[in-house]
Structure 1
Amino acid sequence: MATDIVGQLADSLAQTGVEEWELSYKGQGRKLDNAQSVEEIVKEIEEFQGLQALRLEGNTIGVEAAQAIAKALQTKSQFKCCYWSDMFTGRLRSEIPPALNSLGDALVTAGARLSVLDLSDNAFGPDGVKGIERLLKSHACHTLQELKLNNCGMGIGGGKILAAALTECHKKSSALGAPLRLKVFIAGRNRLENDGARALAQAFQLMGSLEEVHMPQNGINHPGVTALATAMQHNAGLRVLNLNDNTFTKRGAIAMAQALKHLRSVQVINFGDCLVRSEGAIAIAETVSEGLPILKELNLSFGEITEEAALALAHAVKSKTHLEKLDLNGNALGVEGCEALKEAMQSMKIGDLLGSLSDDEGEPEVDDDDDDDDDEETDEEGVEEEEEEEDGEEEDDDQEDEEEEEEEEDESPGVKVSTPASAPRPPDVSSFLSFPSPDKLLKLGAKRALLIEEQVDLSDAMKTARAFLSIASVYKEENQEVKTAVLDSIDGVLRKAFSSPSFQGYDFVSCLLVLLGLIKSEDKVKPVRVVPGQLEALEHVVRQDYFPRESVAVLEAFMSRNSKALEPVDGARSGLQTTLQGLQGGS
């Protein structure tokens, strides 16, 4: 019978299962103020044998609650992964360091060996970094592989504290014969500026183990970029380098181009909105032409690059057999330059790899003198050195409000910002897919589906599934504008994907189940953080004519199984399950 076949298929897909080593409270919006409020959590931690990961994202945790959770963690010697982003909303800045200290000290006491520490989207400033300083210096972090501190407002002071802690951790672990080998470092939107970047660069150079570095939107100018470039040379395994929305100018770009000549494993370079300028772009083109054999993506958008440099880049990538995208949008090519670039790419049979040029700013009226701009930046460095740690009193309920407050502080008399205020930036699809938010999706405008289609390789089932989950993660049933934007984008992307004869619906569903944590991939693909919007959007998708009817039964089989991965979104799962059952009944 068909039911038996579906059951067998589901069993086959899930035969390896998902390891039951994680306890999750993510996205539950709990307000945990004291020991009483976390009694249930503490009990579950204490009773969880072999606990390796704890997800607390999307809740708000006070000092007493953190101390109670910490006490329960003191016996968890197998603990490895801290998924603790966005867990201090509405808390006073003074509450965060003691809460973090308690949790960190508990892991040290337990003899834990961490591999992941994620504290992103906690705007705790330099004091928050002090709250994890002891943990970072301890034996618990000698095994750390991923450190994620995106959007934490660390500032220059926090960057220096972090760099010193990582340096000490490396020295201590090296003395024991097993040096710290951090692989992933994420610290975008932290206002590290040149001094923070320089300090971290020294730590990066010492470790030499980085594979991914993401430091977008940090107000770093060419001195800081140059320091990072030097450090990157010593990280031979580097695969992804994302410095989007900092200010290179030609000196920083040339320094980075020289550094990249020493690297062979780089796959993704994102220097978009970095003002690399034509001379810097030509230097990068030379490096690409001579090396970077497995380069997949090169983003030099919004960099004031002119036609000559753009053509140099096009010729540089022609022999890159792994290349998936060259993004030169928002530069200064002009109408004729855009056409010349398209023709050059097409003549080399790589026209489909060129991203959109819809936001090209046209030929510059006057050539800017890079040296003059670089001199101005150098003059500003003296002012930067006078800027100390950014102290705040309270973290706002909304991260956006926090950032606006800090920007107002920077504009106060006597304080000079290291990078000039820029004009409103065009929508960034890459930024949205990497760090989704409703606001970013809406800013993509009416052509958002088309923009996403251009960014994502829709012939690849895994990439398509990831894109779907990124878009769906911002779904808001109560916000009609966001809801419409999400569903229109999803319909556009998936309709195009499923319309391709080479696209296999079964592969897409399999990848979706892997990313949702319902089956384990042979490639060790990490599941995403499942939120209700993803299942609510999927409920919409399965009703559409483009979605293969034969996949409905497979999805229903997995939604019917008990899964810790879906426990936090049980309501959304029930709704999806009901819809799937109804579709089968009506087929």
Structure 2
Amino acid sequence: MATDIVSQLADSLAKAGVEEGELSYKGQGRKLDDSKSVEEIVKEIKDFEGLQALRLEGNTVGVEAAKAIAKALETKSQFKRCYWSDMFTGRLRSEIPPALNSLGDALMLASAKLTVLDLSDNAFGPDGVKGIERLLKSPACYTLQELRLNNCGMGIGGGKILAASLIECHKRSRAEGPPLSLKVFVAGRNRLENDGATALAESFQLMGSLEEIHMPQNGINHPGVTALATAVQDNPHLRTLNLNDNTFTEKGAIAMAKALKDLQSIQVINFGDCLVRPLGATAIAQTVSEGLPILKELNLSFGEISEEAALAVAHAVKNKKQLEKLDLNGNCLGEDGCIALKDLMKGMNMAELLASLSDDEGEPGDEDEDDEDDDDEEDEEEEEDVDEEEVEEEEEEEEEEDEEEEQDENTGSKFSTPPSAPRPPDVSSFLTFPSPDKLLKLGAKRATLIEQQVDVADARKTAEAFLKIASVYKEDNHEVKNAVMESVDALLKKAFSTSSFQGYNFVSSLLVLLGLIKSEDKVKPVLVVAGHLQVLEHVVRQDYFPKESVAVLEAFMSRHNKSLEACGSSRHKLQSTLQRARTES
């Protein structure tokens, strides 16, 4: 009976390919310039009864093509999810707002009730935000749950427009019924700086519904961090707070530590590369010690933290039974400090939870301490002039944007790839063309860097990243083997602990990419190598991997398949592990 159920589930997976109600053209690299180029897409949209989601990632959509697609969406009242990241590659910046306006107007006309709007990796700048301003304020977004605008080059101006739109949406939705209750907000690498972050903090505070905030690499200093801290206090269900690679200093870190005290649901705190310094780390340690009962991950790497402060942080996590990772790498512990920290974690039976300390900066000398005092004095002087400087910077940015727009009008040659913060080149290079050497060159921070690069809310992207990492696995090379396992574990732990992540879709995508399931969106399978199966065998033995997926994998691994047969011993070992895991569960 159980075998029949598994077989039925496997067949169902094989036929599904994509999420229910979803039409996908993801990653097909289509150049969609005009209405003729989208005739097939338009027909399929029109013929799709109960369309709920449309994936256009990895294509390039022009104004006329967008209008034609929009026309087809006008009758889709059940539409909910827009997966429209990376769909304007090589387009003029002037093309993007009208394209977005057309698509947004169609959704409003259809009376759609959106839950997901993903426009990440579209470097459209402030003008692109204007292109979705009308949509964001409309009833179509009253039900919005996830807003993803990662790596869009919004700048301060775009951040302010976005914040004002969210505030207006909340106001209008509350007047008509349940207010806007956004749960996931992603806006990393957008040059938001203090003013953009402060404006968004106001909208976060108003909504009070956020569960995940991701705003890494935005040039935010302590005034913006303090504003975000105030907003965090009013979001009691917050589970993930990622502000990696901004500049807290002690002032911002202490403000954030106070804000976190009453958050009982927080699971992941990523303040890596945030210069929290000893006082900030100590304040955060106190907060961790007194609360945060279900904390799973704390990242305070590369923050100029001293040995004493690092030990305080370690003491603070002593009773965190759900903790999975403590990252204090890249600080100023010195050799003795690293040993003391490792010994402390070992004494608490938590040694395996401590991330590598291989990039420790060494214990600072007296001269460095004097420099730190000078830095603190400079910080205070800078704070006095911060408002004036920010106004000047904003004026300069606006002037630059005006000049760019004028150049665009005169030459027509400005593309939608402004010099906004690019993706980390090393990680991007590895994930594009994986090799053992590239993985090792990422250094001790490789797992964190890969986590930041991969959108774990997207099951397909996570499966793709997993297979790329696994492809470089070398059984006979201890260093490469450990690097692969560390990276895979970090990626999948984060994925399976993310509420919006769908394990069912991850397994389905994995089977599609391995060529074991035929996909409706014509995904080209990878060349299966032994490393894929060897690493998968490791993964299915881990606690984070869902036991209900074991039987499905076992069913597919036992089927006749030429690509699997080429990995004989690795396949047999995986089958044995799957069989044992199913029996034990």
Deviations 1:541-580 (A, max 9, x none): 46659859x999966976999xxxxxxxxxxxxxx95413
Amino acid at match of 2:138: S
CA distance in 2, matches of 1:484, 1:291: 41
1:536 aligns with 2:526: yes
Q: Choose 152-161 or 347-356, whichever is displaced more.
A: 347-356
Residue 571 of structure 1 corresponds to which residue in structure 2?
Answer: none
CA distance in 2, matches of 1:456, 1:86: 19
Correspondence list, 1:383-462, <5 A: 383-386=389-392, 387=394, 388-389=397-398, 391=401, 392=404, 402=417, 405-406=419-420, 437-438=431-432, 445-446=439-440
Q: Using the TM superposition, give the Cα deviation of residue 348 of structure 1 relative to its aligned residue in structure 2, in angstroms.
A: 1.5
1:115 aligns with 2:115: yes
Residue 313 of structure 2 corresponds to which residue in structure 1?
Answer: 313
Secondary structure at the aligned position of 1:446 is classed as helix
1:57 aligns with 2:57: yes
Q: Using the TM superposition, give the Cα deviation of residue 384 of structure 1 relative to its aligned residue in structure 2, in angstroms.
A: 2.1
Question: Is 1:136–1:169's contact at 8 Å kept on the other side of the alignment?
Answer: yes
Residue 376 of structure 2 corresponds to which residue in structure 1?
Answer: 371
Correspondence list, 1:195-274, <5 A: 195-274=195-274
Deviations 1:366-413 (A, max 9, x none): 2102532422542354222222446355799998xx45x3579xxxxx
Amino acid at match of 1:269: I
Q: Using the TM superposition, give the Cα deviation of residue 493 of structure 1 relative to its aligned residue in structure 2, in angstroms.
A: 6.7
Percent sequence identity is 61
CA distance in 1, matches of 2:5, 2:504: 16
Amino acid at match of 1:266: I
Q: Choose 465-474 or 103-112, whichever is displaced more.
A: 465-474
Residue 563 of structure 2 corresponds to which residue in structure 1?
Answer: 579
In terms of fraction of residues, the more helix-rich structure is 2
Residue 419 of structure 1 corresponds to which residue in structure 2?
Answer: none
Distance of aligned partners of 1:360 and 1:552 in 2 relative to their CA distance in 1, 3 Å threshold: closer
1:11 aligns with 2:8: yes
Correspondence list, 1:129-140, <5 A: 129-140=129-140
Residue 340 of structure 1 corresponds to which residue in structure 2?
Answer: 340
CA distance in 1, matches of 2:354, 2:196: 34
1:288 aligns with 2:288: yes
Q: Using the TM superposition, give the Cα deviation of residue 138 of structure 1 relative to its aligned residue in structure 2, in angstroms.
A: 0.1
CA distance in 1, matches of 2:535, 2:316: 43
CA distance in 2, matches of 1:276, 1:545: 36
Q: How many residues align?
A: 514
Note the aligned Cα RMSD (angstroms). Answer: 4.3
CA distance in 2, matches of 1:60, 1:560: 40
CA distance in 2, matches of 1:172, 1:545: 50
Deviations 1:296-326 (A, max 9, x none): 0000000000001001001000011111111
CA distance in 2, matches of 1:470, 1:45: 26
Question: Is 2:189–2:420's contact at 8 Å kept on the other side of the alignment?
Answer: no
Distance of aligned partners of 1:558 and 1:197 in 2 relative to their CA distance in 1, 3 Å threshold: same
Q: Using the TM superposition, give the Cα deviation of residue 532 of structure 1 relative to its aligned residue in structure 2, in angstroms.
A: 5.8
Correspondence list, 1:445-484, <5 A: 445-446=439-440, 469=463, 471-472=465-466, 484=472
Amino acid at match of 1:371: D
Secondary structure at the aligned position of 2:147 is classed as strand
Q: Using the TM superposition, give the Cα deviation of residue 364 of structure 1 relative to its aligned residue in structure 2, in angstroms.
A: 1.4
Question: Is 2:10–2:556's contact at 8 Å kept on the other side of the alignment?
Answer: no
Unaligned segments of structure 1, at least 5 residues = 409-424, 476-481, 499-510, 521-528, 562-575
Secondary structure at the aligned position of 1:469 is classed as helix
Amino acid at match of 2:358: S
Secondary structure at the aligned position of 2:440 is classed as coil
Distance of aligned partners of 1:114 and 1:577 in 2 relative to their CA distance in 1, 3 Å threshold: farther
Q: Using the TM superposition, give the Cα deviation of residue 345 of structure 1 relative to its aligned residue in structure 2, in angstroms.
A: 1.1
Distance of aligned partners of 1:161 and 1:288 in 2 relative to their CA distance in 1, 3 Å threshold: same
Q: Choose 149-158 or 334-343, whichever is displaced more.
A: 334-343
CA distance in 1, matches of 2:84, 2:536: 38
Residue 192 of structure 1 corresponds to which residue in structure 2?
Answer: 192
